[in-house]
Amino acid sequence: MHGWCLLIGLIDSASPLQFSDTLNPNLNSTEMARMKTTNNLKSGYTNQTTKVGKVAEKTYSGPGSANRWAAEVTLLTYLKGRLPVPPLINANLHGGIQTAWVNGLHAQDLLQADQGETVLAVLGDLLQQLQQVPTDALAGKIPGDGTCLVHGDFGPQNLILYQKSHQPAALLDWEWGHLGSPVEDLAWTEWIMRMHYQNQLKYITVFFDHYGDLPAWSLRHEAMILQCRRYLEFAHLEGKRKNIQIWQNRMVMTRRFKRL
C-alpha cells in the first residue's frame, strides 16, 4: 500500500486501530497547569513533544491523529526489547502519550558536527535490524499489508545515540509506522540527506554499505516521490497553505533528483 492509499489507512477514522477507543478527551486541572510550565521542543508537522522532567509528552495534531496515536502505541509496545525505542509510560495522555526521556546525542547534531560517516553507518545497521523484526503479530493492528515493518519517517531526524558509544539509544516517532516495502525507509533516509544535509551526502555510500542489498535507483526515486505525495496530501487535508507550498516545492525538487 503506497502514497495516498496508505495515507487514507492512517487517517480514516472509520477504521480505528487498536487502542483508539481509550483516548481520554479531557484534561484535568493538574495536567493543564503542568503543560503551561513545560519545555516545548522543536517538533514536526504532525506532533508536538514536550519535556516534563524525565518524561517526554507527545501529542498528535491534524487529520487522523487518533489513528497515528494508536499506531505509535501499538509499535512502542510491540518493539520493546526488539529495537531501541523509548519506553512507553502512559498511552492515555490527553491526545497523546508519555515516554521516558532518552538522554543522548541527537543524530542531526552529529551531522552538523561533520560526523556523517558515524551517523550513516549506524542508520544502515539499524534499518537492517528493523526490517528483520517479525511482523505476523502486527497484521491488522497497524496500517498496510506489505512484507516488512516500515518506520515511515526513518532517518537522522528521529535517532538518539548514546554519547560515548554512538550506538542507537532510541528510534523516535513511530506514528507513521506501517507494513510496507523495504525500499521505503531506505529511500527516505537518502531523501533526508539529499534535501537537508548535502554537505554530508558524501557518506551516503556508508549507509548503503551497512544496509546491504541496495534497491535500484528507479525504485528508490519512486519511493521518495510517493512519500512526498503522502505529505502533500496530508497538507491538503490539513488545509494549511504554507505546508502545501512547502511540499509542492519539495515534490518538484524530488522529481528532479538524479542517481548519485
Does the pLDDT at position 2 exceed 70? no
Adjacent-strand bridge partners of 49: 58
Cell numbers placing 245: 507550498
Q: What is the mean pLDDT of residues 179-204?
A: 98
> Is 16 in the same domain as 30?
yes
Distance from C-alpha of 214 to C-alpha of 220, rounded to nearest angstrom: 9
Instruction: Return the CATH number at 207.
Output: 3.90.1200.10
Q: In percent, how much of the chain has pLDDT > 90?
A: 80
Give the ranges where the chain is alpha helix by DSSP (H): 3-11, 29-36, 65-79, 107-112, 116-130, 183-196, 204-211, 217-238, 241-255
**Which of 51, 79, 100 is a domain's end point?**
100
Cell numbers placing 50: 514536550
With bands split at pLDDT 50, 70 and 90, how would you rate the model's confidence at 92?
confident
Adjacent-strand bridge partners of 98: 57, 90
Q: What is the mean pLDDT of residues 89-113?
A: 94
Does the pLDDT at position 12 exceed 50? no
**Which of 41, 67, 100 is a domain's end point?**
100
With bands split at pLDDT 50, 70 and 90, how would you rate the model's confidence at 247?
very high
Instruction: Return the CATH number at 33.
Output: 3.30.200
Structural domain boundaries enclosing 204: 105-255
Does the pLDDT at position 43 exceed 60? no
Q: How many residues are listed for the chain in this entry?
A: 260
User: What's at 252, amino acid-wise?
Assistant: V
**Which of 48, 72, 100 is a domain's end point?**
100
Q: What is the mean pLDDT of residues 124-150?
A: 97
- In total, how many domains does the chain have? 2
From first CA to last CA, the distance across the chain in angstroms is 27
**Nearest-CA neighbor of 167 among 116, 211, 118?**
118
Q: Is residue 173 part of a domain?
A: yes
Q: Is residue 169 part of a domain?
A: yes
> Is 119 in the same domain as 202?
yes
> Is 162 in the same domain as 235?
yes
Per the prediction, the chain carries an average pLDDT of 87
Question: pLDDT value at position 42?
Answer: 56
> Is 16 in the same domain as 91?
yes
**Nearest-CA neighbor of 174 among 189, 158, 190?**
158
User: What's at 6, amino acid-wise?
Assistant: L
Does the pLDDT at position 64 exceed 60? yes
Q: Is residue 260 part of a domain?
A: no
> Is 131 in the same domain as 250?
yes
